[in-house]
Amino acid sequence: MRDRVNQLPPDAPMDYRDRMAILRERKLEDTQDKLRELGPVNSDDHGIIAPPKGFAEERAKGIYSNHPNGSWYGYDGYSENFYRLMDAYPAFVDPCDITPCRGMAYLSNLRPPRGFLPEANYDYLRPAHELYDIVPGIGAQQHFGIDYTIGLTLGWGGLLEKIERYRAVNPGHDDFYDAEVKTIRAIQQWMKHALEAVDEALTRETHPVLIDNLKRTRESTEYMITGAPRSLREACSWMCWFKAASRTYNGDGAGGQLDELLRPYYEADLAAGQITRDEAIFYISCMLLCDPHYYQVGGLTADGKDMVTYFSYMILEAADWLDSSCNITVRVHDGMDRDFLKTSVEYLFKNKNGWPRFSGDDALTEGFMRLGYPKELAVKRVAVGCHWMSLPGLEYTVNDCVKTNNARVFEVALGQMRRDGQPPSVARLWDIFAEHTRRCVGATAEGIRFHLKHQWRNAPELPLNLLSHGPIERGLDISGGGARYYNMCIDGTGIATVADSFAALEQRVEEEGRLTWDRVFAALDSDFEGVDGEYVRLMLSGSNRYGGGDTPADHWARRISRHFTECVTAQDGDGLKFVPGWFSWSNTIPLGKAVGATPNGRKARTPINHGANPHPGFRRDGALTAMSNAICAIQPGYGNTAPIQLELDPGMARDDEAVIKIVDYIRAIMKQGATLLNINIIDAGKILEADKNPALYPDLVVRVTGFTAYFCMLTKEFRQLVVERILRAA
């Protein structure tokens, strides 16, 4: 961890832009340090910096075990170990910044790897989970949205009072409330230690602007140990404290509707004459720097008004000042401020950092209402995750944690058809596949029910409970009855792999008669070995494809998605709803490793398709419209997403008219039912150079799937995935 105190001469320029430029440079240094000390990671940046050397090893010695197996579980185990960690957590003081904290470690990394609570055994689920290569999400943490207004309104002191108020009306839940109190005490303890670090920095800093900033930081930190934020600066700072603590606890990354969350503070500061516009942008930028959580900007109010304000522009401007990894989503609807959408696209192309993303209000709202929720609620379900939406503070979802490997389901079905001795046909294969899909989804839902029954005893959501509506009020963890709504996410994966496989068999074997079933089976068994194998593979992969534009494969994809959706929604019951989506996250590689060669010409153990996207090479002209139409048509339609992932050349926005064409493309796909659009603006040459020596490109950000990551932080395998996609797009 680098010393950032008194590193600049007392006369160095230090307006807000200067300070952000300095912070940005330091962020790049931190990223390089992190790569060096922690190695590559295939996930969001998280704003984490490398801790002082030996910190994790030292803390691992001091863990508290409450189980004979040496690990810890439940309220007691998690709260005590969180307290111990935070009590020793290093402060991070940068005199340019507004908050003396950064995330530096994950509690989970200190935990001995003993798996789920042994007393809750799910061996009975494993055969089906293993057969279908299900990612069951048992033990998954966070991945739902919280309501920051609770914390911003109450502060830590107010939250403690709230806990005691509800403790009194919920006797018998002391273990829960004690754990929540200890969680808050842990964070307060960390803040107190940070004060000492700020005091030390004040003895050394000589730049007058930074001395003044450190004094303000000290005053606001001391106040916020108990008090609720009184200004925009304090609101941003409070969110930094919460986020860094929550990240440390279990990696939480959900933000909120950022423009509406912070605008009241700015307007109050303005009315009091105590803030400038640049100052406000700087504070927001500092918050985004501390942690690139997922935030939404814009959208519709419950009475149908556009939510975009001048402050929404300021959020984008703050992200532009930062010009780094960021996870801001702009919600697109038909009546939105078109200039705002254009501004968003301009920032996307200007910074080439993968932000903002774009979500489709119509499809998301209508879809969520299909679950039985009113429009007033549906419009509040905001983009706060990798590919997911959540009602802030109201629902528990395990979004993005549960995946069915539909390509593996297809392989199981194909195997059964080959074994049962009857003549093979595409129609029979579909029937068998449909039945296995039903079984696979059923086994997945069983896993979720198991998780909901036991997770609170295994790994409770102590920080996130605090900012949710229900857990404190009921004395129950959000995973175990504390949430208002349970909308459990089940994502399918491999839709293109499966649709292309059905279409290829239909075209080459049954319609054209160019291949026999036996020749296909032989080629699959040998993984397309030899010249004939390669010929068969090329013929199969050259069949009509998903994303080709109303092709038979597009029709297969729609059929697969409809059936999958029916299977998922059929699991509803006992107060639970199950919500289908199509998203692989970064699991395309491991999910692919579980599947042998497939009739779409995909070789064994290679990645399945990415999210809802077609396999690369889906169409000779690579027409985004054809691909987008295909993805829009397979949306399950219940408020979760099947994102469109694009890689675009920076030259596509070469002038104003070109930018407007991209804006219109976005508007058009949203009209067609798109739920989420992620775009990489990347030039192929730079990616190739960066791939040779990633460390030379510490600021190169790519959107890997729903998440953005520093290219240099990805493993070689993941970099290759990005490289291939981008090169094909180019």
Partner 1 sequence: MGIVTEIQRFSLNDGPGIRATVFLKGCGMRCAWCHNPETCAAAPELMVYPEKCIGCGACVGFDETRARAGLPPPRGELRLGDADVCFSGAIRAAGREMTAAEVMEEIIQDTVYYETSGGGVTVSGGEAMAQPEFVHEILSLCHDNGVPGAVETNLDYPFGRLEALRGLLGLVMADIKVYDNDQHRKWTGVGNARILENVKLLKELDVPVIIRTPVIPGVNDSVEAVAPIARFIADSVPNLRYYELLNFNPLGGSKYSALGLDNPFANARPLPDADMDRLAGAARSSGIPVRVG
Query: Which residues are near partner 1 by CB under 8 A?
Result: 531-532, 534-535, 538-539, 541-542, 549-550, 620-621, 623-626, 629, 652, 655, 657-658, 660-661, 664-665, 667-668, 671-672
Provide, rounded to whole angstroms, the least separation between the CB of residue 666 and partner 1: 9
**In sequence order, which residues have a C-beta less than 8 Å from that of residue 687 and are 6 or more positions away?**
700, 702, 711, 722, 723, 726, 727
Count the Cβ atoms, other than its own, within 10 Å of residue 268. Answer: 15
Provide, rounded to whole angstroms, the least separation between the CB of residue 665 and partner 1: 6
| CA 408/CA 414 separation, integer angstroms | 10
Quick one: 157 or 622, whose CB is closer to partner 1?
Answer: 622
Quick one: 335 or 415, whose CB is closer to partner 1?
Answer: 335
Provide, rounded to whole angstroms, the least separation between the CB of residue 623 and partner 1: 4
The tokens 């199969």 sit on which residue? 540
Count the Cβ atoms, other than its own, within 10 Å of residue 298. Answer: 31
Provide, rounded to whole angstroms, the least separation between the CB of residue 628 and partner 1: 9
| CA 131/CA 404 separation, integer angstroms | 11
- The residue ranges of DSSP E strands in 220-289, in sequence order, are 254-257
Quick one: 256 or 547, whose CB is closer to partner 1?
Answer: 547
Quick one: 377 or 663, whose CB is closer to partner 1?
Answer: 663
Quick one: 213 or 635, whose CB is closer to partner 1?
Answer: 635
| CA 344/CA 327 separation, integer angstroms | 13
Quick one: 34 or 508, whose CB is closer to partner 1?
Answer: 508
Token pair belonging to 137: 């999400």
Provide, rounded to whole angstroms, the least separation between the CB of residue 58 and partner 1: 56
Quick one: 143 or 615, whose CB is closer to partner 1?
Answer: 615
* Chain centre distance of CA 58: 30
Quick one: 540 or 721, whose CB is closer to partner 1?
Answer: 540
- With helix as H, strand as E and coil as C, how does 587-637 read? HHHHHHHCCCCECCCECCCCCCCCCCCCCCCCCCCCCHHHHHHHHHHCCCC
The tokens 């002082």 sit on which residue? 52
Among 46, 45, 7, smallest CA distance to 26 is for 7
Quick one: 56 or 658, whose CB is closer to partner 1?
Answer: 658
Strand partners, 359: 331, 676
Torsion of CA 587, 589, 595, 597, to 10 degrees: 140
Quick one: 195 or 623, whose CB is closer to partner 1?
Answer: 623
Provide, rounded to whole angstroms, the least separation between the CB of residue 725 and partner 1: 17
Quick one: 337 or 473, whose CB is closer to partner 1?
Answer: 337
Provide, rounded to whole angstroms, the least separation between the CB of residue 236 and partner 1: 37
Provide, rounded to whole angstroms, the least separation between the CB of residue 617 and partner 1: 10
| CA 612/CA 641 separation, integer angstroms | 9
Q: Helix (H, G, I), strand (E, B), or coil: what is residue 426?
A: helix
| CA 660/CA 341 separation, integer angstroms | 9
Quick one: 72 or 665, whose CB is closer to partner 1?
Answer: 665
Q: Is the peptide bond before 356 cis (omega within 30 degrees of 0)?
A: yes
Provide, rounded to whole angstroms, the least separation between the CB of residue 550 and partner 1: 6
Quick one: 3 or 664, whose CB is closer to partner 1?
Answer: 664
| CA 395/CA 364 separation, integer angstroms | 16
* Chain centre distance of CA 623: 27
Helix (H) or strand (E) holding 395: strand 395-396
Burial class (CB in 10 A: 0-12, 13-18, 19+), 180: buried
**DSSP symbol at 85:** H
Q: Helix (H, G, I), strand (E, B), or coil: what is residue 456?
A: helix
Q: At what angle do helices 208-224 and 232-250 cross, to 10 degrees?
A: 70
Provide, rounded to whole angstroms, the least separation between the CB of residue 362 and partner 1: 13
Provide, rounded to whole angstroms, the least separation between the CB of residue 207 and partner 1: 42
Q: What share of the chain is helix, strand, coil (3-state, %, to 5)?
A: 55, 10, 35
Provide, rounded to whole angstroms, the least separation between the CB of residue 554 and partner 1: 10
Provide, rounded to whole angstroms, the least separation between the CB of residue 652 and partner 1: 7
Token pair belonging to 450: 């198991």
Type of residue at 146: I
